[in-house]
Every structure is written in structure tokens, then in C-alpha cells.
């Protein structure tokens, strides 16, 4: 009989600047998510279930920019997206441009397991959700509308051009907190999985797709390498195919921590944008965990059989160096 692997889960609630008043709900939320996922793994459940349920908890919290807490685009509507990947089979699923699906990650799982496709968006995705009786919940709440007005005002006060968004974010980080959620897990059979879910960038253009639903960019898992979920400026993670880059480092034998730090150094050395906030979590095939970011904060948590309880923090290894 082959020896059982010790299950591990790592969860993030987004990289950026976590203001004090939002830190507590963030930390509590990631802990709840990690516990939910870890309980599944501890009881012999599969990694895909672990990451999906962990992400679904955070989509329901309202404290993160995903699911019920999704931020609004420039047209005051929500376009959520999510992805999931099974490292055992390399199967993956993603859904995007979702307006009122309660748990986008569940739809991503349906795309992965019930269709021949990897990525379904918009009306087609909504139809699929209906076919599988997924719950609906409208995230356009009074609170979101209030944030929208604040963000829009800050944007207009700067200059009414979107390219100014990055300098505005620098001066008003509190208005543009990126609280995408993600999870990576290793189950006791040695299978890895990753999932990521987001409302995307506040004030984004309608139809904009970020890294979170793109396999290889925001999410990747391969039993021969490791699993990774990214958070931060999606356009950067897309251009550097960041989650796959982290997995490639792990495939080459690097430990998860070394892999994520190397990828952040790559961001620092290759992306010259004023706002290049990025965060990564990972697990390698040996169950070692990795977490790094170049932003001031990343809300994250991990649980291993040794820790038993969630170990949560608003910072991991902050990487400012370049390659
Ligand atoms: N990566 C997400 C996006 O660009 C944002 C985030 O991580 O918070 O849509």
C-alpha cells in the first residue's frame, strides 16, 4: 500500500493594501475558508473539492472582491470570473462575465467536468448555470454602489482618463484594494488542485477578462509540479503566464517558496508599470508551501497536519528584488 500524503491547504484573500478596518473580516474569512477546505482533505476528500469549497466560502463572505463582494465595473455592473484546475488529470474549467451566479467557482467546476470546454463566458455561462440549477445572488449592493462612487470620484478628480488609473491607485490604494480569492491544496493521495475567483479590477471596462479565469495565468495545477493561484494586477499575470511559470519552477525541482519568490522577482524585473502589485501562493508535490508578494499586504492562511489550526497573516514574504 502506498503511503498517504499529508494534506495541505493554502488560501489567499487578495494582494494589495489591506486597511486596518478590513483586515479582521479578511483574516477571519480566509481562516474559515481554509478550515472548510482542510476538513474535506482531512476526511479523505479530494484536492479539487478542497479548493472549490474554500473559494466558495470566500465568495459568500462579502469581505472579498469575489462572488457577493465583487467590485463594480465602470458601468456599475458586476462581471465575475473564476477557474479551477485538477493537477491529477490536467482538466480545467473557467467561467467569466458572470452577473449573478452566487459561486462562480462552482460554475468553473461544471465547465471542467460537464462540458468539453475549458472557458465559457457571458450568456452561455449563465445558461449552463441555469441548466445545473446553480444559485443566484446579485452582488450589486448599496455598499458596492458606495465604493463605486468613491472610486469614480477619485478617478475623475485625478483626470478623466483611464490610463491615469495606475497613478490614482498609488495615491488612493484604499479605494482599489484587490481582494481576489484563491486556494491551492494537496490531498492525501498526492493530488494537487488550484482555484481562483474574482470580481476583477474595480472600474474595469465591460468585457475585461483578467488572469483569474485564465488557466496558466491566475490558476494552475499539475501533480508533477505543484499548484498555484495568483492575485494582483491581472494584466501582468497574463503577460507573464505567472501561475504556470511558478509551476514550471516547481517542475524543475524548486521548492514552492523559492518558486513564488522567483516569479515575483520576474514581475519586478520585467514589468515597469507604476502599479505592479502581485501575490502568489503555491504548494509543491512534497507539500511544501509558498507565499510571496510585492504589494504591502497579502491576506493568506495555511493549514497543515502539523499546524492543525489555520495560520493566517496579512503579509508573507515581501519581495522587492528583481531577477
Ligand atoms: N487578478 C485580479 C484581476 O486582475 C485582481 C486581484 O487579484 O485582486 O482581475
Q: For residue 283, how far is its CA from the centre of ligand 1 (angstroms)?
A: 20
Residue 57: per-residue pLDDT: 98
What is the per-residue DSSP string for 159-188? -S-GGGHHHHHHH-GGGG----EEEEEE-T
- The pLDDT of residue 253 is above 70: yes
Q: By alpha-carbon position, which residue is closest to atom 4 of ligand 1?
A: 234
From 78, 83, 178, mutation site for ligand 1 pocket: most ligand atoms within 8 A of C-beta: 178
Work out the angle at residue 41's Cα, subtended by the Cα atoms of residues 35 and 46, and round it to the nearest 5 degrees: 130
Section 41-53 average pLDDT: 98
- Distance, in Å, from the CA atom of 101 to the CA atom of 88, rounded to the nearest integer, reads 27
For residues 215 and 19, give the distance between their C-alpha atoms in angstroms, rounded to a whole number. Answer: 30
User: In the structure, which protein residues have their CB atom closer than 6 angstroms to any atom of ligand 1?
Assistant: 14, 65, 178-180, 198, 200-201, 210-212, 231-234
Query: Which residues, 6+ apart, have CB-to-CB distance to 9 below 8 Å?
Result: 34, 37, 38, 41, 50, 51, 54, 183, 184, 185, 186, 302, 303
pLDDT per residue as tens digits for the range 54-70 = 999 999 999 999 999 99
Could you give the CA distance from residue 181 to residue 72 in angstroms, rounded to a whole number?
Answer: 16
pLDDT tens sequence across 274-300: 778 999 999 999 999 999 999 999 999
Whole-number Å distance, alpha carbon 166 to ligand 1 midpoint, is 14
pLDDT at 177: 67
Residue 190 has pLDDT above 60, yes or no: yes
Beta carbons of 84 and 112 less than 8 angstroms apart: yes
Q: Are 300 and 192 in contact (CB under 8 A)?
A: no
State the distance from the centre of ligand 1 to the C-alpha of 195, rounded, in angstroms.
13
Averaged pLDDT for residues 89-109: 98
When the pLDDT of each residue in the chain is averaged and rounded to a whole number, the result is: 93
pLDDT of residue 273: 74
Rounded to an integer, what distance in angstroms lies between the CA atom of residue 44 and that of residue 273? Answer: 44
Atom of ligand 1 nearest to the CA of 279: 7
Task: Give the CA angle between residues 94, 178, 68 to the nearest 5°.
Answer: 60
Q: How far apart are CA 29 and CA 3, in angstroms?
A: 33
262 pLDDT more than 80: yes
- CA–CA separation, 28 vs 14, rounded Å? 14
Rounded to the nearest whole angstrom, what is the distance from the C-alpha of residue 131 to the centroid of ligand 1?
28
How far out from the chain centre does Cα 157 lie? Answer: 30
Catalytic residues: 180
DSSP labels for 241-298? THHHHHHHHHHTT--HHHHHHHHHHHHHHH---S---EEEEEEETT--EEEEESSSEE
d(CA 71, CA 68): 9
How far, in Å, is the centroid of ligand 1 from the Cα of 198?
A: 6
Per-residue pLDDT at 2: 65
Residue 295: φ, ψ to 5°: -80, 165
Of the given ranges (156-165, 237-246, 287-296), which has the lowest mean pLDDT?
156-165
In this model, does residue 21 exceed pLDDT 70? yes
Give yes or no for residue 159 having a pLDDT over 70.
Answer: no
Q: How many CB atoms lie within 10 A of CB 162?
A: 13
Pocket test for ligand 1, best of 16, 202, 218, 275 (most atoms within 8 A of CB): 218
Name every residue whose Cβ is closer than 8 Å to that of residue 4 and which is 6 or more positions away in sequence. Answer: 188, 189
Which of 65, 94, 200, 242 to mutate for ligand 1's pocket (most ligand atoms within 8 Å of CB)?
Answer: 200
What pLDDT, on the 0 to 100 scale, is given for residue 50?
Answer: 98
Q: What is the pLDDT of residue 321?
A: 94
Q: Considering only residues 151 and 293, tell me which one the structure prediction assigns the higher pLDDT.
A: 293
In ligand 1, the atom with minimum distance to the C-alpha of 14 is 8
Task: Pick the atom of ligand 1 nearest to 208's CA.
Answer: 9
Q: Please give the share of the chain, as a percent, with pLDDT higher than 70.
A: 95
Amino acid at each position: 500500500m502506498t503511503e498517504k500524503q499529508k494534506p495541505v491547504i493554502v488560501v489567499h484573500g487578495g494582494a494589495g493594501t489591506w486597511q486596518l478596518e478590513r483586515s479582521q473580516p479578511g483574516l477571519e474569512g480566509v481562516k474559515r475558508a481554509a478550515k472548510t477546505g482542510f476538513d474535506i482533505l482531512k476526511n479523505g476528500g479530494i484536492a479539487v473539492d478542497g479548493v472549490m469549497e474554500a473559494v466558495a466560502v470566500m465568495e459568500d463572505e462579502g469581505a472579498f472582491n469575489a462572488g457577493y463582494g465583487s467590485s463594480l465595473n465602470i458601468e456599475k455592473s458586476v462581471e465575475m470570473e473564476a477557474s479551477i484546475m485538477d493537477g491529477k488529470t490536467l482538466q480545467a474549467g473557467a467561467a467569466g462575465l458572470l452577473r449573478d451566479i452566487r459561486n462562480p467557482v462552482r460554475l468553473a467546476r461544471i465547465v471542467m467536468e460537464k462540458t468539453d470546454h475549458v472557458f465559457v463566458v457571458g450568456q452561455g455561462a449563465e445558461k449552463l448555470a441555469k441548466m445545473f440549477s446553480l444559485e443566484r445572488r446579485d452582488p450589486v449592493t448599496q455598499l458596492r454602489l458606495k465604493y463605486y462612487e468613491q472610486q469614480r470620484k477619485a478617478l475623475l478628480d485625478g483626470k478623466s482618463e483611464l490610463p491615469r488609473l495606475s497613478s490614482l491607485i498609488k495615491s488612493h490604494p484604499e479605494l482599489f484594494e484587490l481582494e481576489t480569492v484563491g486556494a491551492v491544496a494537496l490531498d492525501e493521495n498526492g493530488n494537487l488542485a488550484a482555484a481562483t475567483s474574482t470580481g476583477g479590477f474595480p472600474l474595469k471596462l465591460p468585457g475585461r477578462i483578467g488572469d483569474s479565469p485564465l488557466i496558466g495565468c491566475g490558476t494552475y495545477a499539475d501533480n508533477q509540479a505543484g499548484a498555484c493561484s495568483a492575485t494582483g494586477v491581472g494584466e501582468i499575470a497574463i503577460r507573464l503566464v505567472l501561475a504556470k511559470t511558478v509551476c514550471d519552477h516547481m517542475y524543475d525541482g524548486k521548492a514552492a517558496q523559492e518558486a513564488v519568490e522567483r516569479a515575483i522577482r520576474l514581475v519586478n524585473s520585467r514589468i515597469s508599470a507604476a502599479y505592479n502589485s502581485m501575490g502568489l501562493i503555491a504548494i509543491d508535490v512534497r507539500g511544501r508551501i509558498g507565499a510571496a508578494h510585492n504589494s504591502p499586504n497579502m491576506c493568506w492562511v495555511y493549514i497543515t497536519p502539523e499546524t492543525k489550526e489555520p495560520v493566517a497573516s496579512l503579509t508573507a514574504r515581501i519581495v522587492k528584488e528583481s531577477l
